[in-house]
């Protein structure tokens, strides 16, 4: 818990850094830099949420289901 709070504070502090301009975002716009899961990982994430007790904080459930098989 303590570690998470430290990470939150560090990342909050980073918002005060100089903003990166649109024309400087060429590397950040690389498809592999997206901050969400790839489409190809969709089913893999579903199986993980079925087989594991933990879920969430990774983009959310996309559809309902008991996950009981």
Partner 1 sequence: MKMKKVIILLVIMLSGISYAQQDSTTVYKKRVLEKTEVDFLFNYYAQDGDNAAVSGGIGTEELTDIVPNFIVRMPLNDDDVLTVDFGVSAYSSASTSNVDPFDGNQPADPFQASTGASESDLWLNLTGIYSHSSDDRNSIWSGKLSVSSEYDYFSVGLGGSYTKLFNEKNTELSINANVYIDTWNAIYPRELRPFDNGLGLSDPLFTNNTITGNANYNPDFKEFDSEGRNSYSLSLGFSQIINKNIQGALLFDVVQQDGLLSTPFQRVYFSDIVDSFIDNFQLADDVERLPDSRFKIAFGGRLNFYLNEVFVLRTYYRYYFDDWGVQSHTASIELPIKITNKFTLYPTYRYYDQTAADYFAPYETHLSTDEFYTSDYDLSEYNANQFGFGVSYTDIFSKFHIWKLGLKRIDLKYNNYKRNTGLSANNIALGFSFVLD
Q: Which residues bind partner 1 (CB under 8 A)?
A: 1, 4, 7-8, 11, 14-15, 17, 19-22, 24-25, 27-28, 30-35, 38-44, 47-48, 50-58, 60-66, 68-69
Min dist. Cβ of residue 16 to partner 1 (A): 9
Ordered DSSP codes for 26-53: TTTTSGGG-SS--GGGHHHHHHHHHHSS
In the complex, the smallest distance separating the C-beta of residue 66 from partner 1, rounded to whole angstroms, is 4
Question: Whole-angstrom Cα distance, residue 18 to residue 28?
Answer: 15
CB of 63 to partner 1, least distance (A): 4
């Amino acid at each position: 818990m303590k570690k998470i709070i430290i990470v939150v504070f560090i990342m909050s502090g980073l918002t005060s850094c100089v903003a990166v301009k649109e024309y400087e975002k060429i590397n950040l716009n690389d498809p592999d830099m997206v901050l969400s899961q790839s489409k190809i990982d969709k089913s893999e994430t579903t199986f993980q949420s079925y087989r594991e007790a933990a879920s969430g904080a990774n983009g959310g459930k996309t559809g309902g289901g008991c996950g009981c098989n």
